[in-house]
Structure 1
Amino acid sequence: MNTQNRLQQFAPILQNYSVQPHFIEDFGKVQRVYSDKGVFALKKIPIHQGTEFIKNVHFLYQKGFNRIVPIYPTIDGRYAVLDKKYLYYLMPWLPNEEKENRSKRHEQLFRELARLHTLSVSEVKINKEEKEQHYEESLHHLETQNEFIEGFIDECETRWYMSPFELLFCLYYNDIFQALKFSRNKMKDWYEQTKEDEKARAVIIHGKISTEHFLFDERGYGYFSNFENSRKGSPIHDLLPFLSRSLNTYPKKQEDYINWFYTYFKYFPLKDEEMLLFLSYLAHPGPILRTVEQYHKAEKKNERKFVQQLQRDYWLLKNTEYIVMRIEEIERQKKQAQAEAQAQAQAQAQNGAQS
C-alpha cells in the first residue's frame, strides 16, 4: 500500500481524535503517523480481543498503574475506534532509545511487572473437583511421557546400529528423565499443599512480556506495550513464556535471569504453592519430548534436521535446569535462614522467661 492509500484509509479513523495526518509509515500492525499534532502510533487489533483489552487497561488506569503506553481517548471519550473487523487505538510514538544496559532494562521491566501484578491481584474461587481432575490428567500425562521415553530408549538400545538421533537421545536420556521426574514431584507437592484450598491468587497478566514490548520515553521511563493479550490468570503465566523464549539459545549460565526474577520476587513474592507449580512447569522438558515423539512417528526421517532440533532442545533443557536449580537453592537457603531465625527468637524468649 502506498503512502496516499494509507492516508485515505486511516484519515477517517484519525478524525475521531481530531488528528490530521501528513504522512504515515507502515510497521505491520502499527502505523507511524506524522500529523499536525505530533507523531503517533496507530495500532489495530481484532475486535474479539478488544473488549478484554479495553477493560483491563481501564481497570489499571483506575488503580493508578501508569506504565502502559498511554492510550489517547477519542473526542467523545472512547479508547478505540471500530472499523470493519478491527479496533484501532492511538498512542504516542516513543523513541525507545537504549539509555540503559541490558540488565538494567530487564530489571526495570520486572519491577514494573511486579507492580502491575500487585495492583491487579485478587482472589478467585477454585472448584475443587475440577482442580482434582486437572491434577489427575496432568499427572497421567507426565506418567505417559515417562513410559514413552523409557520405551524409546529400550528400542534404541536393542539395535545393532543406532541412528545419529537415537545415539544422541541415549546420551541425553538421563537429563530428560531427571527433568521429568522433578516436574512430576513438584506437581505432586503442589497438589498435596493446595488440594483443600478453595481460592487462588489471580492478576492481570500482560500475556507476552519482552523488552520488545517494554518501550522507553525520552526521560528513560519504561512502558508496557502490546497489551492486547492481557487477561486474568496466575502470575506465573507471565514468567514462564518469557523464560521459554529467552532461554532457547546455546548453553550458558544465565545468572542475569536469576537477578531479574528476584527483582520481581522482591516486589511480588510468589507463595509457596505458586513457586511449586512454577518450578514444575518450568522444569518440564516439553520441547525435547515433542521432538523425540515426532521422530518416533515420522515415516521418513530427516536425520540431520532432527539431530539439529534435538541439540537445540537439549540446550534449552540445560539452560532451564540451571535456572530451576538456582531458584531451588536460593529458596532452600531462605527457608533455612528463616527457620534458624525463628529458633533463635524462641530460644531468646525462653531465656528471658527463665531469668
Structure 2
Amino acid sequence: MSTNIHIRQKPIGAVLFQYDLYPEKIETVGKVKKVHTANGIYALKETEMGKDESEWLIHVIKRLERIGFHYVVPILPSKYGDYVLRYGDLAYYLMPWYEDHTKFRHPVHPEEVMVEELAKLHGLTERTQEYSEKILEESYETLKKRWTYRRLEMERYADQIEGNVYLSPFQLTFLTHFQRSLHMVEQAERHLSEWINGAKEKKSFRSVLCHGKPSRTHTCFDQYGTAYFLNFEKAVLDTPSRDLALMFRHFFQSRPWDEQEGQHWLHLYERHFALFDEERHLFMSYLAFPESLYQSVDAYTREDNKITELQAVTQLEKKVLTMNRINRFMNSVFKKESEEE
C-alpha cells in the first residue's frame, strides 16, 4: 500500500521541481493540489488532457492575456517555459492559489458578477464566421436528432412503466409530469427552428470563446467581489448561446430563483454583450429542452444506481420545478420583447 502511495506522489514532486518549488505541505482541494511552499501557495491541477487539448488550453490562456481579459486565474510557466507538463497519460499545470471568498467587504451577488464577466469574455472574443448554410444545417440536424432520440427513449420508458401494476414513487412522479416535459421539447424545437431561420435570413453567424463549463466551482472571488474564471480545459469557439445556457442551468440548480431574476441576469449579460434575435432563440432552445429531467431517469434506471427512492424522487421534483420555472422565464422574455415592439 505504501508503495502505491509513493508511486502516486512521485510525479507531483517531479512536476514541482520543474518550477523550483519545494512543498512544505500539500492538501487536496477538490480536483487540485494546494501546495504550500516558502515562496507562497500554489494550485497544481492534474488532468488527463491529450497533447492537442493541452496546446489549445495554452493558446486560450495566452490569447486572454493578449486581449486584456484579466478575470482569469493565470497558468504559470515552468523554469523551462513550459505551461503544461506531461508524465505518462497525465498532464499538470500550475496556478497561483486564489483564495475563494464567500463573504465580501461589500454586498455582492455572485451570479450577477459571473454573468457580466462571461459577457465581457464573449465581447472581447467575438468573431463573425464566414457564412455556411451547410454548417448551420449540420448543427441544426445534429441537435434535432439528439433531441428526437432522447424523446423516443423517454416515451418508451413511459410506455413501459405505464403497464406496471405497481408504480414506484419515482415512476409516478415522472408520469405525472411527462406531458409537460414533451411540451418543453416542442418549445425547444420551435426556438431551434426560429434560430436557424433567422440565421439563414441574416446570412451570418458569430462565434465567441466559450468557457465551456462556466459555474461557481470554476470561479474564484476575491474579498472585493471580483470574479476570476479558472479551468478553461473545455473552452471552445462556439455560439455565445451555448455558454450562456450552461451558466444559467448552473444558476437554476444552485438555488431557488424566479423568472424576474432570470430576466435580470439576462439583462446584465446583454448590457455588455447583446444577443441577436436568433441567438436568443437558440439560448432558449438549449434551456427549454428537459435534458436534466431525463438524466434523472437515466440515473434511476442504471444498474449501479445507489441512491434511495426518496433521494431519486426529491431530485426529480427539483428538476420538475426548474422545468416549470424555465417555461415561465422563457414566456416572460418573449412577452416582454413583443410588448417592446
The answer to whether the superposition gives a TM-score over 0.5 is yes
Give the stretch that moved more between structures: 273-282 or 180-189.
180-189
Correspondence 1:38 to 2:45: no
Alignment partner, residue 114 of structure 1: 119
Q: Shift of the alpha carbon at 1:224?
A: 0.6
Give the counterpart of 1:60 among 61, 64, 68: 64
| Residue of structure 2 in register with 1:324 after alignment | 330
Aligned length: 331
Normalised by the length of structure 1, the TM-score is 0.76
TM superposition score normalised by structure 2: 0.79
Q: Distance in 1 between matches of 2:120 and 2:316?
A: 38
CA distance in 2, matches of 1:276, 1:37: 50
Please report the RMSD computed on the Cα atoms of aligned residues, expressed in angstroms: 3.9
1:94 to 87, 95, 98: 98
CA distance in 2 between partners of 1:110 and 1:315 (Å): 23
After TM superposition, the structure 1 stretch with the greater mean CA deviation from structure 2, 197-206 or 55-64, is 197-206
Larger Rg: 1
Which residue number corresponds to residue 20 of structure 1? Answer: 22
Q: What is the rounded CA distance, in whole Å, between the counterparts of 2:171 and 2:13 in structure 1? A: 59
Structure 1 window deviating more from structure 2 (27-36 vs 141-150): it is: 141-150
Q: Distance in 2 between matches of 1:160 and 1:35?
A: 62
Q: 1:304 to 1:104 in 2, by over 3 A?
A: closer
Give the Cα separation in 1 of the matches to 2:18 and 2:210.
30
Q: Deviations over 1:141-169 (max 9, x none)?
A: 66777788889989999x89884777655
User: C-alpha separation between the residues in 2 aligned to 1:59 and 1:242?
Assistant: 22
Of 122, 132, 135, the residue aligned with 2:137 is 132
Q: How far apart, in 2, do the equivalents of 1:33 and 1:178 lie?
A: 50
Indicate conservation of the 8 Å contact 2:215/2:250, yes or no.
no
1:84 and 2:88 matched: yes
Q: Secondary structure of the equivalent of 1:247?
A: helix
Deviation at 1:215, TM superposition (A): 0.6
- Match of 1:229, SS state, is coil
CA gap of 1:167–1:210, structure 2 versus 1, over 3 A, is: closer
Pairwise mapping of residues 186-265 of structure 1 onto structure 2 (< 5 A)? Answer: 186-196=191-201, 198-218=203-223, 220-248=225-253, 253=258, 255-265=260-270
Change in 2 beyond 3 A, CA 1:229/1:154: closer
8 Å CA contact 1:248–1:315 kept in 2: the answer is: no
- Show structure 2 runs of 5+ residues with no match: none
The 3-state SS of whatever aligns with 2:18 is helix
Inter-CA distance 249–93: structure 2 relative to 1 (3 Å threshold) = closer
Whether the 8 Å CA contact 2:220–2:229 is kept in 1: the answer is yes
CA distance in 1, matches of 2:218, 2:300: 35
Partner deviation per Cα, 1:269-306 (whole Å, 9 max, x = no partner): 1111100111122112334456679999x9xxxx9577
Q: What's the CA shift string for 1:92-117, capped at 9, x where partnerless?
A: 11122223488622211111111111
Identical amino acids, percent of aligned pairs: 27
- The superposition leaves residues 216-253 of structure 1 with CA deviations (integer Å, 9 ceiling, x where unpaired) of 23554321112211111111221222333432479752
